[in-house]
Structure 1
Amino acid sequence: SLALSAASALFVVRSHWGIENRLHWVLDVLMQEDRARNRTGDGPHNFSLLRQMATNLLRYNQTNKHSLKVRRKQAAWSTDYLAELLEPLIPLQQ
């Protein structure tokens, strides 16, 4: 219902698909969110938040230049790498 110029409409559409490709597609492919079996109560929302946090931690850590899929597997295989990923969440000790 909003009158947009062609350039504005292009920006809106590309922005929407940028979100879809950057977040939702990654959650579907990397975390297999569509295959999740939890459907009732707070479970779906809680697990969605955990998947998003895990994806953000994998993206935030730039020491490893592998794909997100490989980094996720490495975190499962190596407790040292997992600790490195979780380091931003641990408060500084004085």
Structure 2
Amino acid sequence: MKLQPKKSIYEYFSELEDPRVDRTKRHQLIDIIIITICAVICGADTWVDIEAYGESKYEWLKSF
């Protein structure tokens, strides 16, 4: 079995098609996915928790 090259989280999820309507997009889909993954790893259980995590880590997250 041949191993495939590893992709970063960004590379893997950036290939997803964004089903949202363009005029309603406030954030890039990849940003939402990355924030969600980080928030869940840190214990977020709901979308409200994920939003709170994103807001509390805003300065840190925008450094990427």
Which structure is richer in relative contact order (CA contacts within 8 A, separation 6 or more)? 2
Please, what TM-score do these two structures have when normalized by structure 1? 0.30
Higher alpha-carbon Rg: 1
- Looking at secondary structure, tell me which structure has more helix per residue: 1
Please, what TM-score do these two structures have when normalized by structure 2? 0.37
